[in-house]
Chains A and B, each alone.
Chain A
Amino acid sequence: MTIISEIVANYNQWITIFLMVSGLYIVVARGNMVKKLVGLSLFQTSVYLLYTSPGKILGGTPPILDPDFTVYSNPLPHVLILTAIVVGVATLALGLALVVRINEEYGTIEEDEIFPEKDGE
């Protein structure tokens, strides 16, 4: 019984960790650059979950002030994550532009095909 309650209590965090680690795995293990960027954004989105889940108060409402409610969830993580989402899409756009340029220069977006070419020169 204690094991089940432990699992329920930490489920958010564990899913966050799973998402984060699979993003890390994709970034390290896969050679395709678009796939790498998808992994990177997976990692980023897991961080959103990591920040917002401690901000939730059970029985609370979203932090929009109203005389009918007294318990609000924490607004501070939401603000930080709003910033993080916008910065995330900016870095994603920059990375994709780099991928397009690499494809233009080497004719491929696979790491395995780019590096042997460099050795052969």
Chain B
Amino acid sequence: MAIDNNQLLRFTTAGSVDDGKSTLIGRLLYDSKSIFEDQLTAVENTSKKKGHDNIDLAMFTDGLKEEREQGITIDVAYRYFTTPKRKFIIADTPGHIQYTRNMITGASTANAAIILVDARHGVIEQTKRHSYIASLLQIPHLIVCINKMDLVNYDESVYDDIVDQYENLSSKLVIQDITYIPISALHGDNVVNRSENMEWYKGAALLYTLETLHISNDLNKIDARFPVQTVIRPQREGFIDYRGYAGRIASGVFRKGDSVVALPSGFSSKIKSINTFDQEFDEAYVPMSVSITLEDDIDVSRGDMIVRTNNRPETSQEFDVMLCWMSSKASQPRAKYTVCHTENLQKAMIKNVLYKVDINTYDRIKDQETFEMNDIGRVTIRTTKPLMIDSYGTNRTTGSIILIDDNTNETVAAGMIV
């Protein structure tokens, strides 16, 4: 069956309503025939009611009543489409309200980000913000779509200028892979089908680019990390002595017979078996959900991490993170929170604010004490017990944290371990 080899690609879109982001997504869904007739009829009816001549593609992505009424996107919405080559999940993030919070949310699991640039305006402040976040979250692939080419007569020199501007900008950021595509989302040029209006562009259309991005290496296959979610002890016939550590492999590959240690205890053992349901594996890799049993009866519980003896994460109670504040309630100096890291919850304190970042200019602002909604900066965090951490740059799963406010139980911040 063909789907045996089909991968899942998650991407996020950044851009404001004016950049034609919703129109682009609508176009992708429409031209890839992922929109159903009843959805089309509903949008046609609403378009007519609003007095539009053509169907408004942007409406396919509006979810909530207020969003449709105001023509804005409030919250991250997820869209799905499948081509014969891949399944896609789009995290459609709003352009205006709480853009940082929402874009970070959408970007946190993305393989790729599409950054929209209006061909008439080129690289603007907003492009800088979106690019900074893409870089901060280390999204492996960036696709810069220069949109509204129809409004600049499909002019190659306009495109070249913007590519130059962006190359300049991106040299200040950490971005591994950038692709540029001139498009018109409204008319469909270079979205699903190659444009006849831009013969000078020799690259692929957006959909083909998404279908062929090399994503197998986006996950860390080197450092074996297995955070334990729960312990399975069936206590039933045939499995009396079974003690399985259930979890999702965060990175790397585990094999039967591997010498491992359980952290933080440091007890060592060997992997006896790896299974999912009744299927046994000789090896298992990120991001498989499995149960692992060990040769020795050592104490392992939720929040512990099984790793290979000769490749361990750092065990630390104090570390620096790039923090993004996501709550309307500002942080207080030396405030206490619960930090959530893999399956671990610990009391923690923001010990020190090193600097905040102006994401429009990329300047560092020193002598700051509090974080407000959408602020990003570097802080030192101290926890009551050690966490098993890697840097976010090498490991998105063991390098990320969230902070929870104990008074409200809200998630107030996201952090990437430096």
Q: Do A and B form a real pair?
A: no
User: Which residues of B line the A interface, CB within 8 A?
Assistant: none
Chain A: residues with CB nearer than 8 A to chain B?
none
